[in-house]
Structure formats: C-alpha cells, structure tokens
Structure 1
Amino acid sequence: MSVALFTLGGTIAMAGAVGSATGTVVNRLTGADLTAAVPGLAELGVTLDVQDVQAVPSGDLTFDQVLDVVAAASRAVAAGAVGVVVTQGTDTLEETAYLVDLVWPHPEPFVLTGAMRNPTLAGPDGPANLLAAARVAAADAARGLGALVVLGDEIHAARRVRKAHSTSTAAFTSPNVGPIGHVIEGAVRVLATPTRPAPLAVPSPTAALAGTRVALYTVALDDDGALLAGLADTHQGLVVAGFGVGHVPSALAPVLGALAGRIPVVLTSRTGAGSVLRHTYGAVGSETDLQRRGLINGGLLDPYKARVLLRLLLATGADPKAVAAGFAEHG
C-alpha cells in the first residue's frame, strides 16, 4: 500500500541558512529528508512515494502549479496510490486546499499539511503533522471526503478551514463547523462527513487561467469605492468582502451595482465566519439591495475561497448565470 507524497517547500521544509549570522531559514529539506525525520513513519505499513515538486514559499504558488500537482496526484492514484499527501507553506494553504477540493474527482483522500515551527526551532511540528497526514491519507475513513487539511492531529475540510493566527501551532481552524475529525493514538477518527458537490472541470488548457483576473476588495469604514474605478476594464470578476452579513456604505452600492452590470461581482463577509444573508436587511447597501443590483451571494464562503471559486468558474467559461449557480452549490 502506497501514499503519494508531493513536497512544495514552505516552513515544514526549511533549515538554517549555511553561513548565515541572521538566523534566517531557507528551503533546503527534500522529501527524503522530511520523511527521515518522522518517528513512527516506517511502522505505518504504508510506503511513501516521494516526489519533490518545487521548493517555493506558498505565497509564490500559482493556480497552474497547484493544478499540475492535482494532475500528478491523479496519475499516482491511477497507478495504485491509496491517498495523496502534499506538504507546503501554510500562508496560502486554505486557498490551495480549496482549489484542490473543487476539482479532485477521486475517492482517495488528498491531504495537505505544513508546519508553523521550522526544524531549527525547539518543538517543530512538521514531523508530527506529516505523520498524521500520512495516516489520514491511508485511512478508509477518509475516503470520499475530498481535500483535507491536517495539522495538530486535527482533520479539517478544505472548504471550511482557515489560517486564523500568524504564528500559533494551532493556527488552523474551521470557524463554522470545527474539525471534522482527529488522529487519536494513531487512529483516524472522522466525526462528521462534509457534503461535497460534484467536482468542477479543470480549465483546458490551464493557460485559460492567465487571462482570468479576479480582484478581491475589502470594504472599510467611510469607503467611497474610488479604488474600484476602471476595474471592469482590467479584471473579469470581483469578490467584495463586505461588513458583517454583507453590507457596504450606501455610497458604494451604486458603484458595485455598475460593476455587476459588466462583470460577476460576488458578495462575501470580511468577518471570517458566518454567512452572508439574503433577505433580512433592506437599506441601501444592505445584502438585499446589493443582490437587487446584481451582486452574487457568496453564502458561507470566505472572501479568499470565493475568489478561488470565481476564478475557476470564469476560466472554464461560465457565464453569469452559471457563476451564480456555482456559488449557490458551493457557497
């Protein structure tokens, strides 16, 4: 039994810089280095088929690179792998995991993990996270759950997980649902099974993504929307992170409505948890008013995940009606 392991760099793969007097760390560890540092991995009864992809900070990852890993992971599953593990930096893990989840068509688990403390520090969490991820990837209980994020022995659904702290080893949370499972004494315990919509198509060719630019705009106090001028000429979509349940200043409402007449505009909440409402408030700039002006309700998706979904839908040629249907299903 084998699990395919793809390494993408990040804190989990960092080591001290040679000759550095500053204490900074750089990407230096290969997949073989990572697995050699994990106590108990050899006793799992699972062979890790290691493939070093590209050691880059997660902030430098692109949609194309992530979809290339998905394609390679699909080939590994077709060759007999019972699951997939990807190690990467945590900065964009919530976004890459959701992108994977949107397109992953297999029942085999696709598990993403990383680390908050690099190997030069006391108590690095990378080895434990990698061990837990491998356990989940090989577990029958994780089949059919799509992309999962595993850190700190917690199992999170990619659709709901967020990085909620900049440095804590407990940085990853799922505010609306909590973790769907845990690794307890080496056993994978799935306590809740998330509903997964049918996977979306991968843009073909993936180069279509290059011509699909989606902006993310966070609304702030006394916001007049001046920064949005000309956006429809340079972008194919916009995600708005509004106040609370999906509100904006009244002066901003007609600006967003005009944009929604030209490109898809998705309404989300900047709060980080909870849903955008649909028909509770009726003032100018409320969720009801904005939807009347053509904005698409983002549901429970946070702004970052909404941007991933919108860009993927647009890159596959979805028209405004199909975009709205996509958010109704996935939001």
Structure 2
Amino acid sequence: MRNRKKKKKNSKWIKWSLLTIIVLLLGTIGYTYFRINNAMNKIYNPINRVHSEVDTAIKPDYVKTFLVLGLDKRPNTNDKGRTDVIMLIVMNDKTKKITMVSIPRDTYVEIAGKNRKSKINSAYGFGVGTTIATVENFTGIPIDHYVLFNFNGFVKAVDETGGLRLNVDQPTAEKINNQFPEVHLPYGDNQLLNGTQALYFSRFRHDNKGDFGRNDRQQEVLKAFLDQSKNIRSPLKINSLLDVLGDDVRTDMDKSTIYSIAFDLNSYSSKNVEQLKYKATTGSIDGISYVFISEEEKARISEILKNKMSEN
C-alpha cells in the first residue's frame, strides 16, 4: 500500500515537472519568436522603386543581383548620411559564380530622376530607390534587392559569425594602429579579425591607392564573410543574426527570401568570386574632387557583368 502511494506521488511529481518544462519551453519559444519577428519588422523595408533606363529582360531567372550599401552617418545629426560602400553583386545560380564590382563613392554620375550630376554617394539623400536607379543606369544591370547597413551592423554581423580571416599587410596595420591604438589590428596572412578590426581594415584609405584601395579591401571582406557565414546558414542561426541586427540593417528581402538565399549560398565558395575594378581618374569641378569613369569603361564593365549573367 505504501509503495503504491509512493509511486502515485512520484508519478504526480513527474507530470508536474514535465508540465513546468513544457510551459517554460513554450514561453521561451514564444519570446524568441517575438524578438525575431520584432527584429524582422525593423529590417524588412520594401521601397518604392524609381524608374531607370535599364532593360530588366537581360537578367535570366537563375541570376540574382544585389546592391550592398554601407551607410556613413554621423551620430546625433539630422543628416541622412551617405553611402560609403556601393557594391553590386551578381549571383549566377547555374555556374555557382559570384561577380562583384565596387563603385567609388565620389564617382561623378547623373542622379536618377533629378536632372543633375553629383557624387554617386549623394543619391542616398533622395532615398534608396534613387540610389538603386542611379546604379542601374550607371552599370546597365537590373538590381533585384538591396541591403543597407551602418557601421554598427557591420561590426555585429562579423562578431556574430565568429570573426573574419583576412590577409593584412604590415604597413596598413601599422598606420591604423598608430592612428587608432585601441583597434590592435594584427598583420600577416589569414589573421582572424573581430568586427571592429574588420571595419577599420575595410575603411582604411590612407595609402597610395586611396579610395580604390578601400574598395579592394571591402571586396576582400565580403569574400571572407561569404566563407565564414557558412557557420550561420541554418534557420536558427539566421534568426539569431536577425535579432542582433534589427536596429542596424535594412533590406527589401523578407524572411523567406533571406532563408532561400542563405540556403543557396551553401553551394557557393569564395574561390568562385570574381572581383571587377573600374579604371578611373580623379579631378575636380568647382573645387570639389570627383572620380571620373569614362563611358567606354562603364561599357566594358557592363559587358563583363552581362556575360557573367548569361553563362550557364
């Protein structure tokens, strides 16, 4: 009789314990879902597209194109900021190749829909839609999606992936460390950089290449991120990243599109990434410095990108 009562008591205790665990688990899942949903509501930012002259029919369905924009916005100001990073990325899902090209931020262009010429990074002052249309007109390539991030978002994304492996030359590291001792940027091949170190490395331009060298480093960072991001391509880890980036990233891709692209990226490698460069000159108009890219050079890069899109 005593054993029967004891078994009944134990059974009751187990049931209550299981019920408590289930309630706590459901509560945790619910709270996590709320946080992810809240973050995604901030990140997801569909926009009104501005008309461009580009022919959308030139892009096959198996090709995806993205405009990556890094925003330089000073804190505690009403200024919208300007795009410090302007990078066009072409993903060919048949060849599993990625082609990227950076446009120097001071490039002298026609701002789409504004009947004026200025630096390409000033297009953002009229909105992301104007920036996309301006880049489409400049490159001749239709753009599917955009990703806009600020410097905080960049640092968080790199740290969330566990850092980036990059080759850092000694002169660059020494110049950055002399100017910003708190960064402690290491030098040598295959150095593991945290978010802050990768940010300073990608933004450095005080060498003989100036902004052109910075564009090269930004593309190297993106290649490294492609490899390292293999660690975060499961839905659970993507959700964790979205939660972290909620205040610092905007895109017109919804969650299902992000999941789909992350899944597709599993079949890509940085070894199949081609980096293109514009040949350019520098000069000034009315005392303002610009980067000038000729019509012939624009056509050359545009033709390469179109060929990369049509490969299968």
TM-score, reference length from structure 1:
0.25
Q: By percentage of residues, which structure has more helix? A: 2
- In the superposition, the TM-score normalised over structure 2's length comes to 0.26
